Amino acid sequence: MTQIQDQPVPGKTVKTSVAQRLGRPSMLSMLLRDKFATVAAVILGFVLLTAAFGPSLMGELATNQDLMFMNKAPFDPANGWAYFLGSDSLGRSMLARMVVATQTTLLVAVPAVLVALFLGSLWGVWAGYHRGRRENISMRLADIIMSFPSLLLAVVVLFVFSPSAANIVLILAITRIPIYMRTARAESAELQSRTFVDAARTFGTKPNSIIVRHVIPVVTPTLLTLATLEFCFVMLAESSLSFLGIGIQPPDVSWGLMVAQGRQYLQTAWWLSILPGLAIVITAVAANVLAAWMRIATDPAQRWRLTLDKQAKKDLTAVIKDAK
């Protein structure tokens, strides 16, 4: 057969040349180029700072009862800044209570995500790399964990052990481990058949070193993105449990618990329920947006989209518009 040699398709070289022109972009500069993601990151940063420093500044205010200031409506400057978000049925400052609740909420969600991420990922990568019986048993275990009524688990922990935040973290972490396990296993099973892993094997590298040096770096971005999404989920789960009365217990306070406590005052003081819920929604949406951005930023095939400067972006939008 006499055939003309295939040449690279021009379209592909165009993309790389953009990246070349701008150099390898830093994550920060890519983040700043995406307006939505920047806003989301700022919101999450603010929430984190509030959780870290807020309670030490306003902790006292949060427990300060003032029966003269019962159920004051929010956004009324006459009440002073402490009551800017209104007050609850005991005259406590909503603002201060929400700040304290931020810390509780994050102290449950963040450790739960980290524990599940760490254990689930390692387990999944290990199972996927070795395949065979180890994989089968691990996946069956994951199935069992997933099909267990986590609500019951929560109640058991609540009644048998103390209903502390640490125990809620434990429940949430255990029930979410399978999510990371499945993803990590799938990726790792796919990777272990790749040539570069074979190459490492032929050099006599031990399985554990291959997992550490070749598999984990590849799966990490995917799992981090998943963890960002899971943060959102775990936060919602905690607030659901607290809402049902089997999560955070008074006198501690979390956003979900505040929604539940405010429910009976819905007719007279809507802000008691609505505002903490809004905090949950805003934080969750921000985590979602950031996860969507991370998915693109950590994918080498799509990253170039985020490297475009304003002008290039405008051009691209024009092109897309034209194309219709």
Partner 1 sequence: MMTEMLEPTAQSDPPTDTVLEVTGLDVDIRTPQGTVRVVSQVSFAARRGQTLALLGESGCGKSMTAKAIAGLLDPVASVAGGTAVLDGQDLNQMNPKQRRAVAGPGLGIVFQDALTALNPVYTIGTQLGEAFRIHRGASKKQAKAEAIDLMRRVGIPEPETRVNSYPHQFSGGMRQRILIAMAVALSPQLLIADEPTTALDVTVQAQIMLLLRKLRTEQQMAVVLITHDLAVVAEEADEVCVMYAGNVVEQGSVDKVFSHPTHPYTKGLLESVPTDAQRGEGLSSIPGSPPELTKIPAGCVYQDRCPLASAICRQERPLLRDTADGQRAACHFAEKVSAAKTDNDDANNVKEEIR
Partner 2 sequence: MLTYLRKRIISSGLPLLVVIVGVFALARMTGNPAALYLPLNATEAMREDFAVRNGLDQPIWVQMAQYFGGILRLDFGESMRTGESAGAMALRAFPATLQLAGTTMALAIVLAVIVGSAAALKPNGILDRFSSFLSMTAASIPDFWLAIVGIWVFAITLGWVPTSGVVGMAAWVLPVATLVMRPFGTLVQVVRGAMVSSLSEPYIKLARAKGATQYRVVGAHALRNAAAPGLTVAGDLTVGLVNGAVVVETIFGWPGIGKLMIDSILQRDFAVLQACVLLTAVAIFVLNILIDIGYALLDPRVRPSAGARKRRKARVEHRGQQNGPKAPTTPTTTGSAATAVLDA
Residue 267 contacts which entry, partner 2, partner 1, none (Cβ below 5-8 A, type-dependent): partner 2
Q: Which is nearer to partner 2, 19 or 186 (CB)?
A: 186
Q: Which member of 125, 253, 260, 297 binds partner 2 (CB under 8 A)? A: 260
Question: How far is residue 242's CA from residue 157's CA, in Å, rounded to a whole number?
Answer: 14
| Binds 202: which of partner 2, partner 1, none (CB < 5-8 Å by kind) | none
Q: Which does 114 bind (CB under 5 to 8 A by kind): partner 1, partner 2, none?
A: none
* Shortest distance (Å) from residue 317 CB to partner 1: 10
Token output for 207: 């399985």
| Region of residue 313 (left: phi > 0; alpha: psi -120 to 50; beta: else) | alpha
Helix (H, G, I), strand (E, B) or coil at 93: strand
User: How crowded is residue 4: how many other Cβ atoms within 10 Å of its Cβ?
Assistant: 5
Q: How far is the CB of 307 from partner 1 (least distance, A)?
A: 10
With respect to partner 2, which residue has the nearer C-beta, 31 or 257?
257
4 binds, among partner 2, partner 1, none (CB under 5 to 8 A by kind): partner 1
Is 295 among the residues that bind partner 2 (CB under 8 A)? yes
For residue 251, cis peptide bond before it (omega within 30 degrees of 0): yes
Contacts 24+ apart (CB under 8 A), 82-90: 85/271, 85/275, 86/269, 86/271, 86/272, 86/275, 88/261, 88/262, 88/269, 88/272, 89/265, 89/269, 89/272, 90/65
Closer Cβ to partner 1, 19 or 151, answer by number: 19
- 308: partner contacted, choices partner 1, partner 2, none (Cβ within 5-8 A by kind): partner 1
The residues, any chain, with a CB within 8 Å of residue 159's CB and separated by 6 or more, are: none
Type of residue at 125: V
Token readout for 290 is 């950031």
Nearest by Cα to 237 from 169, 159, 286 = 169
Minimum distance from residue 23 beta carbon to partner 1 (Å): 16
Q: Which stretch binds partner 2 (CB under 8 A): 71-79, 106-114, 206-214, 288-296?
A: 288-296
Select from partner 1, partner 2, none the partner in contact with residue 8, using the beta carbon and a kind-dependent cut-off of 5 to 8 Å: partner 1
**CB contact set of 102 (below 8 Å; sequence gap of 6+):** 47, 50, 51, 54, 255, 279
Q: Minimum distance from CB of 276 to partner 2 (Å)?
A: 8
289 binds partner 2 (CB under 8 A): yes
Which residues of this chain interact with partner 2, rule CB under 8 A?
Answer: 140, 143-144, 146-153, 155-156, 159-160, 175, 178-179, 182-183, 186-187, 221-222, 225-226, 229-230, 232-233, 236-237, 239-241, 243-244, 256, 259-260, 263, 266-267, 270, 273-274, 277, 280-281, 284-285, 287-289, 291-292, 295, 298-299, 320, 324
